[in-house]
Structure 1
Amino acid sequence: MPSIEERVITPGLLRDWPLPDPEGDKESRGTVLVVGGSPFNPGAVLLAGVAALRAGAGRLQLAVADESAVALSVAVPEAKVVGLRRTDQVLDLATRADVIALGPGLDDIGQTTDLMRTVLGAAGPETAVVLDAYALGALSKDAGLLKQHRAVLTPNVTEAGHLLGREPGDDLAEAARALAGRYHAVVSLYGHIADPEGGAWREESGDAGLGTSGSGDARAGVVAGLLGRGAGPAQAACWAAYAHAVSGRRLSPRFGRTGFLARELVDEVAYTIATV
């Protein structure tokens, strides 16, 4: 099957598709709740959460493994942090959040499935959702876990295969389109973005250095932050793909093509977005 026609994401395209103006106080730029982080991988939530703030979210809340809650509250003093075993508090946060990013750092498919069922069940119908990592594995087993209409999926190629039930092959544009149709969500797959209405875009600035530990968590956080400040799902996915890729390019002169870290990507995001 030939590849579908995609619009290339350029600064000009993004300038013609401007993000909502960051006016007003932090409430007007949305509350992002990041749910994830096993005891052995709390850093994924940190990366996603800080990336959401760098992308312009007004408030950040983190729901993580209880063992990591105190450490993360110190590492990210801008965030409200609660342990996942405090179920009533987590559900209260989910009820009030404008955006829920679920999956970074989780490592148990059963726990992830339970979290999706309870947290997304508590969210309102207008809550935007970003699913990453193990949340995508859970979704591949039960598509009914995702009920929200404003959703973005950020799979890697392996996760895309689980979601499709087959190898995605070389045509990632077609794979992204198939996933968008199957799950009624915007899909961002290695620079290929598709929405359920047939829109398709391609980001061409990415390089090998983006394939570093934590990079996907950072990208999911940027999507969540842009949704928080009022961008639509496809717009947030396209701007995030550009900000993620170009932030890596900005770091290459200092660290080489493959020497920069995900935390350094996160620190470039605000400037990259501001200079489009």
Structure 2
Amino acid sequence: MSDDQAVTLTPGRLRSWPLPRPEGDKSSRGTVLVLGGSRSTPGAVLLAGIAALRAGAGKLQLATTESTAAALSIAVPEALVVGLPETERGAVRGQMDEELEGLVRGADVVLIGPGLVDIDETGALLEAVMDVIEPDTRLVVDAYALGALSQRRSLLQGRKVHPVLTPNTGEGARLLDRDLNDDLDEESIEIARTYDCVVSLFGHVADPSGSVWREETADSGLGTSGSGDAAAGVITGLLARGAEPAQAASWGVYVHAAAGQRLSVQHGRTGYLAREIVDGIAPILAELEG
């Protein structure tokens, strides 16, 4: 793909594409449900959920393994935390009970994937979510849920919900069932068209029409544990505020990268943590939105 076909994301470009500014109480900024985690990876849900709040979401709900729910409710007092049945190995079971169904149906945005660890249980859970989610609810698919989706491509066929996918390059390769080439603009378009969705692939955002937005300032420091959870959370929070999928993904990848650039001055290119990226989201947004 030629460079002149992709839109390079800059502060000026984003300011000309302003985010919605919800008025009123927290309900006007949307309800987010983050569905994920495991006994060994509860932090992924925490990072994604706090990132969604920092991006402006109004209400946060976390659904995770019952063995970690109490600790998460203390760590994130701003959230409603629900414990879900888990396997002997501490993975979320792929089943939909009445309480979880109510949360899915009541959310404005559902993020599924951060911290999930069992591919079969995750696939069953993703299918259960797709069966009950409301047509006007936004869906973000991340991490293990992307691997499950790659094994169940027909899951999206005939659905009214078109998710935002947030793969890294390894997950992108699984979504296409082949190695990626060096042109990530073209690869992101192919994923978007294959799954009829907006995709955010390693700083390259595409939609099925072939439009591409590219973030060019990200550095290697973003390749740290939990960074992807933070990035998915930012996009989720922007969707909750009312941004359209391509806008939320574009703003999200820029803000994520900009937070990393700022932290690299303090901690070096590879010394900062995902939790610090999360803390940097709101200041970056405040500067961009004026």
Query: Deviation digits for residues 178-198 of structure 1, max 9, x if unmatched?
Result: 000000110101111101122
State the one-letter code of the partner of 1:79.
A
Instruction: Give the C-alpha shift of residue 88 in structure 1.
Output: 1.6
| 2:109 counterpart of 1:99 | yes
Among 155, 158, 168, which residue is 2:167 paired with?
A: 155
Gaps of 5+ in 2: 86-95
Are residue 248 (structure 1) and residue 260 (structure 2) matched?
yes
User: Using the alignment, how far apart are the partners of 1:94 and 1:79 within structure 2?
Assistant: 15
Paired position in structure 1 for 2:244: 232
- Map 1:23-172 onto structure 2 (within 5 A): 23-85=23-85, 87-146=97-156, 147-172=159-184
Q: 1:3 to 1:165 in 2, by over 3 A?
A: farther
2:223 aligned residue: 211
**How far off its partner does 1:253 sit?**
1.4
Distance 1:4-1:117 versus aligned 2 partners, 3 A rule: farther
Distance in 2 (CA, whole Å) between partners of 1:55 and 1:197 is: 27
CA contact (8 A) 1:49 1:221 kept: yes
Length-normalised TM-score, structure 1 = 0.97
Which string of whole-angstrom CA distances, capped at 9 and with x for unpartnered residues, describes residues 203-232 of structure 1?
011011000000000000000000000000
Residue pair 1:46, 1:72 contacting (<8 A) in 2 also: yes
- Counterparts of 1:105 and 1:181 in 2: how far apart (Å)? 27
- Whether the 8 Å contact between 1:30 and 1:57 is mirrored in structure 2 is yes
> For 1:117-146, what per-residue CA distance to the aligned partner results, in whole angstroms no more than 9, with x for missing partners?
112221101110110111000110112333
Aligned residue for 2:90? none
Separation of aligned partners in 2, 1:110 and 1:3: 40
Q: For structure 1, which segment, 197-206 or 97-106, has the greater mean C-alpha deviation from structure 2 after superposition? A: 197-206
1:68, distance to aligned residue in structure 2 (A): 0.6
The reply on whether 1:187 has 2:230 as its aligned counterpart is no
Q: Which residue of structure 1 lines up, in the alignment, with residue 213 of structure 2?
A: 201
For 2:139 and 2:174, the matched residues in 1 are separated by: 19
Q: 1:3 touches 1:173 (CA, 8 Å); kept in 2?
A: no
1:252 Cα shift? 1.2
Quote how far apart the aligned CAs of 1:81 are: 0.6
- Which amino acid counterpart does residue 220 of structure 1 have in structure 2? A
> How much has 1:148 moved relative to structure 2?
4.5
Tell me how far apart the structure 2 counterparts of residues 219 and 62 of structure 1 sit (CA, whole Å).
17
Question: Structure 2 residue aligned with 1:261, among 273, 276, 283?
Answer: 273
Q: What is the CA deviation profile of residues 156-200 of structure 1, one whole-angstrom value per residue up to 9, with x for unaligned ones?
A: 111111100111111111110000000011010111110112210
> Does structure 2 conserve the Cα–Cα contact (< 8 Å) formed by 1:127 and 1:150?
no
| Residues 3 and 179 of structure 1: CA distance in aligned 2, closer, same or farther (over 3 Å) | farther
Q: Matched residues in 2 for 1:52 and 1:157: separation? A: 23
Question: How far is the alpha carbon of 1:22 from its aligned partner?
Answer: 3.1
Structure 2 match to 1:271:
283
Does the aligned pair in 2 maintain the 1:29–1:57 contact within 8 Å? yes
Question: 1:31, 1:228 within 8 Å by CA — same for their partners in 2?
Answer: yes
What amino acid is the match of 1:243? Answer: V
| AA at the equivalent of 1:22 | P
Number of residues of Structure 1 aligned to a counterpart in Structure 2: 276
What TM-score results when the alignment is normalised by the length of structure 2? 0.92
Q: Percent identity?
A: 58
Point out where structure 1 has 5 or more consecutive residues left out of the alignment: none
Provide the alpha-carbon RMSD of the alignment.
1.3
